């Protein structure tokens, strides 16, 4: 299935590539792997919510932020490979969750990102994952996500 059609069918759209806020690139290719830089839940450069999960931000709000973070990662990946239909599989997702003291449900938050990858890529969206609680994230973001995907030629994915 066409990745862009699937994103549209889900009622979503691929955002513009978020501009790096320091000295790094949005994504980097190594052989057939593409590593996205960490992305937060921004739309047009604006965080959709701020705060720590388990205090100012609910698990459900954080899952929405994680989904937007994935879309931003995909936009970053597209910027270096030209066509998301080249993605053959998602290898690894790492999710960082700005957590209030005592909050231990980081996997539930990052599940929002994981589910979106499965919705977009189907079986090829299955991935290894880490869900990590942290004290702070850039600019007060509740979630940051990074992806590693394997790519091939356009039309080579199943």
Concatenating the DSSP letter of every residue in 88-117 gives: EEEEEEEEEEEB-TT---HHHHHHHHHHHH
CATH number 1.10.357.10 is the correct assignment for the domain at 3-16+25-151: no
The whole-number pLDDT of residue 154 equals 59
pTM above 0.85, yes or no: yes
- Please determine, for residue 72, whether its predicted confidence score (pLDDT) is greater than 90: yes
Task: Report whether 148 contacts 77 (CB < 8 A).
Answer: no
| Nearest-angstrom CA–CA distance, 73 and 112 | 14
pLDDT category, 48, cuts 50, 70, 90?
very high
What burial class does residue 32 get, using C-beta atoms within 10 Å of its C-beta: 0-12 exposed, 13-18 middle, 19+ buried? exposed
Convert the pLDDT of each residue in 110-157 to its tens digit. 999 999 999 999 999 999 999 999 999 999 999 999 999 999 975 544
| Nearest-angstrom CA–CA distance, 31 and 69 | 24
């Amino acid at each position: 299935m066409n990745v862009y059609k699937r994103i549209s069918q889900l009622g979503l759209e691929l955002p513009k590539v978020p501009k790096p806020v320091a000295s790094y690139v949005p994504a980097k290719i190594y052989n057939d792997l593409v590593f996205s830089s960490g992305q937060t839940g921004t739309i047009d450069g604006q965080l959709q919510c701020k705060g720590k999960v388990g205090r100012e931000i609910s698990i459900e709000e954080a899952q929405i932020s994680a989904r937007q973070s994935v879309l931003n990662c995909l936009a970053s990946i597209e910027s270096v490979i030209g066509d998301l239909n080249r993605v053959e599989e998602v290898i690894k997702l790492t999710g960082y969750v700005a957590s209030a003291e005592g909050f231990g449900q980081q996997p539930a938050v990052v599940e929002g990102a994981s589910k979106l990858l499965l919705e977009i890529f189907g079986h090829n969206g299955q991935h290894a994952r880490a869900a990590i609680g942290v004290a702070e994230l850039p600019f007060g973001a509740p979630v940051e996500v990074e992806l590693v995907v394997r790519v091939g030629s356009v039309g080579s994915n199943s």
